[in-house]
Each structure stands twice: as structure tokens, then as C-alpha cells.
Amino acid sequence: MTSLSEILSLARHRAEHTKLPYSGATTPAEAYEIIQRAPGARLVDVRTRAELDWVGRIPGAVEIEWNTWPGGVPNPHFLTQLTRQVDQEALVLFICRSGARSHNAAMAAASAGYTACYNVLEGFEGDLDANGHRGAIGGWRHANLPWQQS
């Protein structure tokens, strides 16, 4: 069993190695372990309402759209909504479909003063497979972590 400090150290190492401007990057399984073991840690799901409704939700996650639905335009209230729902001193893990929007959300939060921002690599659905489909390679669902269909 890997300790919380070992998981966070590995996540920080990934950030240093890839020169990320926030605290670290985790796999979905590591993110789940962190939220289980770190009191006050928050998972922020930045997918659109449509994705949450049609694809599935992570129980207990804070849901704040990075891009709004419909239209896919950036949510101008993202940081205000984040500040209202998540303490700036909390360890915050950001997740989206694939890890791209959550990377941007982690950067924005870190720039806004959040002290422990982490991106969940692979996101909820993982990378595209050879047929252009998500869900078969990586991701929260593929790792059999808790989620529910709306």
C-alpha cells in the first residue's frame, strides 16, 4: 500500500518533470486514494452539465463547469464559483473528460491563490482508442472507481 505522502510526492514529481504551474498530476486511482485519505481534499469535476447528466457523475465531487453548455464557451464565473465552494487552502483535484480542461482549471486556480492544485490525468473517460472512442483506455470509469449514471 502506498502512503498519502508517497502519492503526493509522485504527483509533485510529475509536475516538476513536465514543468506544470501547479502542485501536481495524479492518475485517477491516485486521486481516489487522496480523497479517501486526505481530510478536506476536494475533487472538482469541471465537465459540462450535459456530460455530467449523460455520461455520469462522481459521488461527492464539486461540479463547476469550465466551459458552459450549450456553446462550449468558457465559464466567466468559474473562479467565483470555485471560491464559494472550495477553500483556497484545501488540496484540490480537478477532473474533466480527458485531463485537458482540468489542466486549465488547475492553472487558473493556482494563479488565483489556491495552494494545492492537482490535475487528474486521463480524466473521467480516458484517451481515445484506435476507433476514436473513449472509455476503453484509462480514465476514472475504466479504473472502476465510484461513479453513477444520472
Report pLDDT digits (tens) over 91-135: 999 999 999 999 999 999 999 999 999 999 999 999 888 988 888
Q: Where would I find the H helices in the chain?
A: 4-17, 28-37, 49-55, 78-85, 100-111
CA distance linking residue 26 with residue 118, whole number of Å: 7
The verdict on residue 39 lying in a domain is yes
Contacts of 109 (CB under 8 A, 6+ apart): 22, 79, 82, 92, 94, 117
Tell me the pLDDT band of 2, cut-offs 50, 70 and 90. confident
The verdict on residue 94 lying in a domain is yes
The verdict on residue 141 lying in a domain is no
Mean pLDDT of the region 47-74: 96
C-alpha gyration radius of the chain: 14
Q: What is the residue whose three cell numbers read 505522502?
A: 5
CA distance linking residue 121 with residue 62, whole number of Å: 18
CATH number of the domain enclosing 10:
3.40.250.10
**Residue with the larger pLDDT of the pair 59 and 71:** 59
Report pLDDT digits (tens) over 13-34: 999 999 999 999 999 999 999 9
Q: Tell me if 134 sits within 8 A of 142, measured CB to CB.
A: no
User: What φ, ψ does residue 8 adopt, rounded to 5°?
Assistant: -65, -35
pTM: 0.96
Omega of the bond prior to 70 within 30 degrees of 0, cis? yes
The verdict on residue 146 lying in a domain is no
The domain containing residue 51 runs over which residues? Answer: 4-120
Q: Evaluate if residue 67 carries a pLDDT over 80.
A: yes
Task: Provide the number of structural domains found in the chain.
Answer: 1
Q: Is the alpha carbon torsion for 9, 143, 43, 45 positive or negative?
A: positive
Report pLDDT digits (tens) over 3-14: 999 999 999 999
